[in-house]
Structure formats: structure tokens, C-alpha cells
Amino acid sequence: MTKQTSLITGVIAAVAILTTAPGWADVPTTSFGKPSLEGQWDFKSATPLSRPERWKDKEFLTAEEAAEYEQGIVERRASGAESEGDVREGLDGQRDVDVGYNSGFLEIGTNIDGSLRTSLIVDPPDGRMPAMRSEARERNAPYVAMQGESPSGPEMRSLTDRCIIGFNNNPMRSGAYNNIMQIVQSESAVAIHVEMVNDHRVIPTNGGPGVASSTRFWKGYSVGEWDGDTFVVTSSNFKQNATPYGTGPNVKMTERFTRMDEATLQYEYTIDDPETYEAPFTARQQLRRTDDDVYEYACHEGNYSMPLVLRAARKMEDDGTANKDWMPSWHKR
Amino acid sequence: MKAKLLACTVASLLVALTGCGQGGQSSAPAVQPSTPAGPPDLNGVWQALGSAHWNLEGGHAIKGPATAVLGALGGIPAGHNYVEGGEIPYTDDAAGKRAEYRAEWNQWDPAVKCHIPGIPRQTYLPLPFHIVQGDNKVFIGYEWGSNSRIIHLDRPGTRAELPSWMGYSVGRWEGNTLVVEVTDQMPDTWLDATGTHHSEALKVTERYTPMGDNHIDYEATIEDPNVFTRPWTIKMPLYRRVEDNARVLEYKCVPFGEDAVYGHLRRGANRNEPTVKNLF
């Protein structure tokens, strides 16, 4: 083989490798040459965050197993149960009264993640969330206990009840509803608009200015930069009780956004807080492109619940019937 | 590059202003360098200065409700008149309504409750906002209230399926100017703190024209035949925040509006009604 032939062969091989790499040819790019992250993205999923015990030694499902699992979800939903083991006679009727959310309101995922993994957590390798340290549980206990008390004012309800933060948007993870976000992107910034509580972040792509550790934000302080074709966002400085997964004041969250193809955005986040969890953990999900719009979820503007909760608390105190059992059942789980 | 050349050709045919053939810099008037896609670059952190959010028609400084606890920090500053022609052209009925609102403005003003202020008021509330200019959408993230909106450049002639507090924004480029038509806003928002109200028929046409590297001429034309006798226009500059660490931070206002909205329901409250009106 001549030197020239060798070079040509090498180029052909390199092109072949590049063009056969998953999704390489299908990744849309922006006018400034970066992979496009833009669009509306659906992040609801039926894949559990932590690997269930029954899949303890199984990292991936087969396509057939995934289809069977999804069918089971659909059937359980139809019978009014949220998850396996939650099939109870008459629960659905009671749920309308007790919780107020029924199947007409909920928008829970019915599809296994495109990776066919048995958990969204990919690290630790067992797919399970590391244990929370006992001191972290003690730190979080007052906030949890407070929500079981008769609230003296709105501050005693959860941050989600107050429409300050959402339960599924930082990091973005599949929840009961509003599992959608939109990205608009320029060369200098990436905007992420999540439907839940109508929240957003504008993240500079140049690493951004720093901020004092004593300055705290409900949605944390995020800076970003490109790592090859992946946009990496690092967040810290969360306010108390607004941290992801019950972490503490020094948590660092790292999110990675990688466009896989026209229809898919891989979203990965790592939660690192040795004061709370015995090890960092990383979850990964394939978000699906959707033509659905992100609607304005004007949570505070329509928070009919809060005045009713407070009015009920005052009445029960006046009647001498205040107790710790008055909140909906899901608050006690 | 091919896309850029095509975009520049189209842009130059339309307006010959974006400076595509001049290394991204145009001749007079000075404007922002083009984005690679062609139109002027509005990306960055901007802010309106002045007192438009207090009173679009301007006036002298006055004592405000907050002076009771904040002293000199709680006064309402003097301001210029931002209304072309000087006066807002209310119908007789709407002028009466505005006078009622104005007499008790801090009980009625939706912004006191931390309700989304809508367009145009969100633009000139006294905190910065970040424009992220995508190819087909423009996102504006506002510090006040952590509110935001999407401007659709790719949906000409469309309307929203539902009304919303920030409304539905459809944009287009007219030369160097980003023109945004905002419809389908909730009727509950105000345009300032003097009771400048509107109905569900409100249409706002905004015009963002860059006038150099660091400021934008902002105009908003207000149309609402239920409230005003004719369209009217406000105008003010928007300034680029040029600090090295310029960044929209966070003013989630719910915790600051809760006393107004829920204070009467606190344990031990000595009143039965909220201090604000038009709740729910």
C-alpha cells in the first residue's frame, strides 16, 4: 500500500466512522455552528429514577419487555392505580376528594426511556440513588414536619404549594404534569423555559460571572459552557429547601445537554453533595421533541388553593379541631 | 457560510442595513453587529430606566404607601411623560374607572400582588431582562417576577389558543426593527401604577430598534377600543447593562406579595379582608 493510498483509505475510514456514528448526520446545527438545542422538549418518562429491586441485575430491557411494561402502565392507569402495588378498590373516587388530582389532570409518562435502561440513574452502576446521610435527614426534618402542621401563614406550606419552585424542574425530571420545556439559543446564552411554575433560566455560554457563595437563589445560579458538542451547565447557590433532591447548601448540580438527532435531546444531570448523599449520582434521559407549546403556567396568579388552606386552618383553630391529620394523604407518604 | 450569504442577500434586498458585506459592521446609523443569521443582534442584558412603571404620564415626586416604613427610600420619584401627545386617550367610562383605581392604586395594582405584569409594563419595570435571539424565536427572560415570554418569528398571522398574562407575541423584522405584535393578554394587567388598565381586546405593537451598541429605541403602540378612543404610543430607550458581570438575577416576587394577598388569613391577623382587591 502506498503512502497516498494509505492516506485515502484512512480518510475514507474516518468519514465512514463519522457518518455511521449514531445520529451524527441528523444533528441540527445553529447558524453559529453549534448543535441546536432549540425546540420544545417532553421529559415525561415511565422509566423509574432508581432501578427497581426486580431489575436489580438488569441494566436494560429488551424492546419486548419495554412494550410489556408500558402496556402494564396503561392498564393500571385505566384501573385508577398510580403504580404497581397501588391497586386499591375504590381509591379513585376517594382521590378526587382527598387529593384533587385525578387521571384527567395527571400527565404521567407511559413510555420507557429510549435507551431502554431500567433506571434513569446511570451512576452509581447499580442504578440506585445513594443513601441519604442521617444528618441530612435530620437537617431536612423540620421542613417536612412543618408541612404537617396547621399553617400559621403561607410560609409554612411547601415552596411548590406557594408557587415559588416546581416539583419537577430543577433538575428537569418526570413528574405528575407540566413535563415540558423549551430552549431558545444564541451564541452567548441558552434560555430554558420550563412550564412548571412558569420558570426559566438564561445561562451564559461563556462560563458567566461568578457570584458570592452567600448569594442564594430559588433556582440556583447556573453557568454554562460548551464541552465539544455538549452544553454543560453547573448550578449552585440554591436557597434553603429549594435544593434538588433534599440536598444541602453546598450542593453542585451539573447538567449536560447533547442533541442526538432531530427528535432527541439527551439530558443528563449529576447531583454532588457529600454532606447529603454518600456518593454523587447521575441520571440520564432522552427527551423527545414535541410540537406542543409550553403554556404559561401562572401558578401564583391562580393559586386558589393557598387561601382555602389558610382559611381552613383558621376555622379549625377557631373550632378547636386543628390537628396534624388534616392534610391530603400524599403529604404523609 | 452558505446560509449566512443567503440570509445577508435577502436582508440586503429588504433593507440594505445589516452590514453583511462589511464584516458585521454597518454604516450610519450605527447598529449592533449582525447575528450570523442576518438581522441586528439584540442579544444581551437590557434595562429601562426612569419611572414609566409608576406613571406613564409623568409627574412630580410623591409620598407613597411605603414611606411609612421605608422613609425616604419609599417615595415615588418624579418622571417624564412617555406618552406621545402627552395624555392617554381614555374613553369617558374608562377615564372614570381609571380615577377609581388611581385613588386606591396600591389595593388594585396587580403588580403589588406579584401577578405577571404583562406587556408592555414588564419591559419597563426597574430590573433588567435578557434577550436571547434564536433563529426562529426570541426569548426574553425578565428579572422582575422571573417572568418570560417567547416571541415567535416563525408564526406570522397566528393567535393564541388561550389568553395568558404575558400574551402571545409574534415578531417580524422590518429593516433593523424587531416588530412584535402582542395579543391575547389577560385583561387583569395594568400598564403603570396609576390604574392604566385595558380589556381583553388589548393589542400592543412593540418596536425594538437598535440605535448603537448599547441602546435600543423602544416603542409600544396600545390599541384597545373598549378603553381608548384611538391607538396611542409610548416611547423610551432601553439601555444595555455593560458591567462585566451583567446578568439577570432573580426577583421571584411571590414571597414579597404574600402579605398583601394572604396576610388577612395569617394566624392572629386583625382583619378579615385582604389589603388588595380583585383577588381570584
**Contact state of B3 with A32 under an 8 Å Cβ cutoff:** no
Residues from chain A that touch B138, judged by Cβ atoms under 8 A, are: 184
B113 within domain boundaries: yes
Question: In this structure, are residues B109 and B193 in contact, taking their beta carbons and an 8 Å threshold?
Answer: yes
- C-alpha A89: how far from its chain's center? 31
Chain B (133-172) residues lying within 8 Å, Cβ to Cβ, of chain A: 133-139, 141, 146-148, 150, 162, 164-166
> Which among B2, B5, B185, B247 is the top mutation candidate for probing chain A, defined by the most A β-carbons within 10 Å of its own β-carbon?
B247
Prediction ipTM score:
0.88
Q: Is residue B28 over pLDDT 90? A: no
**Contact state of A162 with B254 under an 8 Å Cβ cutoff:** yes
What does the pLDDT look like over A212-257, one tens digit per residue?
999 999 999 999 999 999 999 999 999 999 999 999 999 999 999 9
Q: Which domains does chain A have, with CATH numbers?
A: 123-290 (2.40.128)
Please report, as a single letter, which amino acid is at residue A227. Answer: D
Chain A residue nearest residue B185, CA to CA: A296
Task: Say what percent of chain B tops pLDDT 70.
Answer: 86
Chain B residue nearest residue A163, CA to CA: B254
B280 within domain boundaries: no
pLDDT band at residue A8 under the 50/70/90 scheme: very low
Q: What is the pLDDT of residue A47?
A: 96
Q: What is the pLDDT of residue A309?
A: 92
Chain A residue nearest residue B266, CA to CA: A153
Chain B residue nearest residue A164, CA to CA: B254
> Who has greater pLDDT, A119 or A324?
A119
B34 within domain boundaries: no
Residues from chain A that touch B7, judged by Cβ atoms under 8 A, are: 31
Of the candidates A216, A255, A262, the one whose C-alpha atom is nearest the C-alpha of residue A41 is: A262
**Contact state of A314 with B267 under an 8 Å Cβ cutoff:** yes
Q: What is the pLDDT of residue A330?
A: 61
- Mind telling me how many Å the CA of A319 is from chain B's nearest CA? 14
Domain of residue B12, residue span: 2-19+40-265
> B278 at the A interface (CB within 8 A)?
no
B24 within domain boundaries: no
B27 within domain boundaries: no
Which of B4, B244, B262 is the closest to A306 by Cβ? B262
- C-alpha A81: how far from its chain's center? 22
Question: In this structure, are residues B99 and B106 in contact, taking their beta carbons and an 8 Å threshold?
Answer: no
Mean pLDDT of B136-143: 97
- Mind telling me how many Å the CA of A124 is from chain B's nearest CA? 34
Q: Which of A91-105, A166-180, B197-211 has the lowest mean pLDDT?
A: A91-105
Q: Which of A78-82, A304-308, B234-238 has the lowest mean pLDDT?
A: A78-82
- C-alpha B109: how far from its chain's center? 16
Mean pLDDT of B201-226: 97
Please report, as a single letter, which amino acid is at residue B199. Answer: S
B121 within domain boundaries: yes
pTM: 0.88
- Mind telling me how many Å the CA of B177 is from chain A's nearest CA? 18
What does the pLDDT look like over B141-196, one tens digit per residue?
999 999 999 999 999 999 999 999 999 999 999 999 999 999 999 999 999 999 99
Interhelix angle A305-319/B254-262, nearest 10 degrees: 50
Domain count, chain B: 1
Q: Is residue A279 over pLDDT 80? A: yes
Of the candidates A37, A29, A28, A72, the one whose C-alpha atom is nearest the C-alpha of residue A256 is: A37
Residues from chain B that touch A237, judged by Cβ atoms under 8 A, are: none
**Contact state of B250 with A219 under an 8 Å Cβ cutoff:** yes
B135 within domain boundaries: yes
pLDDT band at residue B279 under the 50/70/90 scheme: confident
B46 within domain boundaries: yes
**Contact state of A296 with B164 under an 8 Å Cβ cutoff:** yes
